[in-house]
Amino acid sequence: MKNDALHSVFNWMDHNRYTVASVLVFILTLGIVTSLTGCESATTGLMAASDGAPVKVSRSEFQRQALVGEKDFAIKRIELDGLAAKFNEEVKAFNERIQAGLDDLARQDEFKQQLLDTIGSVAIGATDGTLNPMALVPIGIGLLGGALGLGTSADNRRKDKVITDLKIAGMTA
């Protein structure tokens, strides 16, 4: 049985054991390298699983998740820009109401001052005896004009407030 083929192969392998071992190591290494290069690379995804655990994803899935995330951020940016614009309009309307109120107060104070000046000049003219009754007509007309101006100004402020409130209500709707 010394001529048995299997026995001859084992004898040859025993005689060339390091050569056979290096060939087996080469084949094993080639198999490992081939299996590693054949596997698709994976990394932790940008989005966790429904249970919150991190998920390993491929390059294409990672890129898809990145695009979805960028789209979500773009939508949030648009929403925030809209809120900022709405806020700026509210501040602008508020500042306009402040300015209108200050202007109205200034007009009222100016009217009061004119009234006091007129009454003072009439009183001085009456005490000096230089008061001309015909001079009271332009003063009365001036007072009437001031009163009409004050009323018109108040109406305009009220109308401006109604318009501003409608604009604000239109923006929130």
Would you place residue 43 in the very low, low, confident or very high pLDDT band (cuts 50, 70, 90)?
A: confident
pTM, entire model: 0.46
Element counts in the chain: helices (H) and strands (E): 4, 2
Rounded-to-5 percentages of helix, strand, coil across the chain:
85, 5, 15
Q: Please check whether residues 83 and 168 belong to one and the same domain.
A: yes
Would you place residue 86 in the very low, low, confident or very high pLDDT band (cuts 50, 70, 90)?
A: very high
Residue 133 domain flag? yes
Residue 10 domain flag? yes
Q: Are 103 and 160 in contact (CB under 8 A)?
A: no
Q: Closest by alpha carbon to 153, among 116, 118, 102, 114?
A: 102
Q: What is the pLDDT of residue 69?
A: 92
Number of structural domains found in the chain: 2
Question: What residue numbers bound the domain in which 10 lies?
Answer: 1-39
Residue 55 domain flag? no
